[in-house]
Amino acid sequence: MTNRNRRTFLKDIAACGAFASLARAASVDWKKQIGLEVYTVRDLFAKDPEGTLAKVAEIGYKEIEPTSYANLDPKQFRAVLDRYGLSAPSTHAGATDGPDLEKQLEGFQVMGIRYTEIRGGGGGRAPAAAAARAGGGRSPETEESVKRSAQQINQHGRIAKKFGMKMLIHNHTQEFEWLEGGKLRPYDVLLAETDPALVAMQLDIGWASVAGQNILQMFQKNPGRYELWHVKDATGIKSADPKLTPNQRREGSKLVPVGQGEVDYKAIFAKADVAGLKHFCIEQDNAAEGGDAMAAAKASYQGLWKQLG
């Protein structure tokens, strides 16, 4: 064995050891952590926050991801969670940037939140989140603009770290549109430019699948980066014309309760350790369109159990 080959061999062995440690550390007991993104039942929550969370807990959910705090202060919100045996490890009702950012993060600590985003200014949501969904195949972002967003998210992550938190980055479909030149997508740049010690990727598996991404390959390419998942199902994934852009594919898809679509969650959860999964929540953006959002939340809960149980 040459010196070069020996160095390569030792490097590979070290990488395997580090990967094995990562996998062991990321183990998740999904049955004890199944969560719901409150956006699924947002209209019910707006009318009756505590009653809605009581019903969510009755279904069997253990965690939630809030999109608002129903005008409750952190101690009041935490009391409601505790009353129904719920926790909120992540939030989509993120902090706002400014002089009182740290005070807001202190409030999140009280609620038990460990992953957040910054509302406005690209401090948490992935770039291009407001882009036209049926665009012409190019992201309105540039590589440099996405890098700037990544730097801003890292900076917020350094602040959040002081409170035991990380920033999260959530995707839709537009983050998988090609940037000018056709070699990189916004999501590629975000993965490369954000610090894993400060920033966690919250992979919306449903939208990524609709966008034509291979979820298992994403895990293999960037192991350990996907600490948070949105568990979402859809139809129209397999039949989509491969020539369509991610945003165009979204227009041809339909969100449905978990287990009633085309996403293979049994295979995906089998690789949770590779992904680095810590927490996940079920979400169906259009649940209310069926007339009973809580029934849709229950159907998704049962659908995931059917796939994984």
Separation of alpha carbons 193 and 157, rounded Å: 13
Asked if residue 158 has pLDDT above 50, the reply is yes
Give 164-193 pLDDT, tens digit per residue: 999 999 999 999 999 998 899 999 999 999
Query: What pLDDT does residue 217 have?
Result: 99
Separation of alpha carbons 94 and 105, rounded Å: 9
Mean pLDDT of 62-83: 98
Q: Which candidate, 81, 90, 93, 89, places its Cα nearest to that of 54?
A: 81
Mean pLDDT of 84-98: 96
Contact 58, 309 (CB under 8 A): no
* Start-to-end CA span in the chain (Å): 48
∠ CA 10-12-13, nearest 5°, is 65
Q: How far is CA 112 from the centre of its chain?
A: 18
Separation of alpha carbons 233 and 253, rounded Å: 10
E-strand stretches of 262-304: 279-282
Hey, what domains does the chain have and what are their CATH numbers? 3-308 (3.20.20.150)
Query: What pLDDT does residue 120 have?
Result: 65
Give 209-247 pLDDT, tens digit per residue: 999 999 999 999 999 999 999 999 999 999 999 999 999
Nearest-10 Cα torsion for 263, 190, 124, 289? -30
Query: What pLDDT does residue 7 have?
Result: 46
If one compares 267 and 5, the residue with the highest pLDDT of the two is: 267
Give 97-135 pLDDT, tens digit per residue: 999 999 999 999 999 999 999 986 544 555 444 333 334
